[in-house]
């Protein structure tokens, strides 16, 4: 068994929700958007955002700024708002010290996910990154997990761990990709999914679990 740990990003290594609220508030204030437009953004972008959402925003509210400009500002505001707790960064560094290879498998647009990885410092602590926007395939599709391993020069067939908060995308997908899984509790667990190998309340507990007992 190789020491491969693939992490989800949003809701696992970073708190997307608080960054999202700050970014939407900042964008609306900067452009003087009314509460209807702000509510539209908070609803439509609740799970994830990409450039096409800002084409729809532009059309729905007849805005002056171009969709491309609004998207870029949103990406910049998200990158400025999102943080990764020092304990999580330290945990990733410790994994690498102990010969783990770390990859990211995240659903989202390539530019915003990479901006978040760069701004938080996570990007410097991982060996590979697979963003669904790179391939136009999303977790739970096996191909995104394959890409995450491949970007580190490893083979998914040699196994590893998937750590994430989404039952279907991260845990169901990881299981189908032949990985062992650690679930960050929070969302309801679907009845039809196989149980994760381990469950934790915080990603630092998942890292401790890998460091202590489960490198093989
Ligand atoms: Mg997530």
**Closest of 201, 158, 159 to residue 180, by C-alpha:** 159
64 alpha carbon to ligand 1 midpoint, in Å?
A: 33
16 alpha carbon to ligand 1 midpoint, in Å?
A: 9
When the pLDDT of each residue in the chain is averaged and rounded to a whole number, the result is 95
**Closest of 162, 101, 159 to residue 126, by C-alpha:** 101
Q: Are 162 and 179 in contact (CB under 8 A)?
A: yes
107 alpha carbon to ligand 1 midpoint, in Å?
A: 8
First-to-last C-alpha distance (Å) of the chain: 6
Is the bond preceding residue 85 a cis peptide, omega within 30 degrees? Answer: no
**Closest of 175, 176, 170 to residue 185, by C-alpha:** 170
What's the token pair of residue 57?
């925003």
Each of the 216 residues of the chain gets a pLDDT tens digit; together they read: 579 999 999 999 999 999 999 999 999 999 999 999 999 999 999 998 999 999 999 999 999 999 999 999 999 999 999 999 999 999 999 999 999 999 999 999 999 999 999 999 999 999 999 999 998 899 999 999 999 999 999 999 999 999 999 999 999 999 999 999 999 999 999 999 999 999 999 999 999 999 997 655
Domains and CATH numbers, the chain: 4-14+84-211 (3.40.50.1000), 16-81 (no CATH)
39 alpha carbon to ligand 1 midpoint, in Å?
A: 22
What's the token pair of residue 199?
């469950």
Tell me the H-state helices in the chain: 16-31, 35-44, 51-61, 67-81, 86-97, 110-120, 132-135, 142-150, 173-176, 203-213
56 alpha carbon to ligand 1 midpoint, in Å?
A: 25
203 alpha carbon to ligand 1 midpoint, in Å?
A: 11
Listed in order, strand segments (DSSP E) in the chain are: 4-7, 101-106, 128-131, 161-164, 180-184, 198-200
187 alpha carbon to ligand 1 midpoint, in Å?
A: 10
| Distance from C-alpha of 93 to C-alpha of 84, rounded to nearest angstrom | 13
Q: What are 116-136's pLDDT values in tens digits?
A: 999 999 999 999 999 999 988
88 alpha carbon to ligand 1 midpoint, in Å?
A: 15
Q: What is the pLDDT of residue 1?
A: 57
Q: What is the pLDDT of residue 2?
A: 73
Q: Could you give phi then psi for residue 209, rounded to 5 degrees?
A: -60, -45
9 alpha carbon to ligand 1 midpoint, in Å?
A: 6
């Amino acid at each position: 068994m190789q020491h491969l740990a693939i992490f989800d990003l949003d809701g696992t290594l970073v708190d997307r929700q608080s960054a999202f609220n700050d970014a939407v508030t900042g964008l609306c204030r900067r452009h003087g958007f009314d509460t209807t437009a702000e509510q539209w953004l908070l609803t439509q972008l609740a799970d994830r955002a990409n450039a096409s959402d800002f084409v729809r925003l532009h059309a729905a509210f007849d805005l002056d700024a171009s969709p491309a400009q609004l998207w870029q500002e949103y990406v910049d505001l998200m990158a400025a708002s999102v943080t990764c707790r020092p304990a999580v960064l330290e945990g990733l560094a410790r994994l690498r010290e102990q010969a783990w290879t770390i990859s990211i498998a995240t659903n989202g647009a390539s530019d915003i996910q990479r901006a978040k990885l760069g701004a938080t410092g996570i990007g410097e602590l991982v060996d590979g990154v697979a963003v669904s926007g790179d391939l136009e395939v999303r977790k739970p599709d096996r191909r995104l997990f394959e890409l995450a391993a491949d970007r580190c020069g490893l083979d998914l067939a040699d196994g590893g761990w998937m750590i994430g908060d989404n039952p279907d995308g991260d845990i169901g997908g990881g299981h189908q990709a032949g990985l062992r899984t650690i679930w960050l509790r929070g969302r309801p667990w679907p009845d039809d999914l196989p149980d994760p190998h381990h469950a934790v309340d915080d990603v630092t507990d998942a890292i401790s679990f890998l460091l202590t007992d489960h490198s093989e």
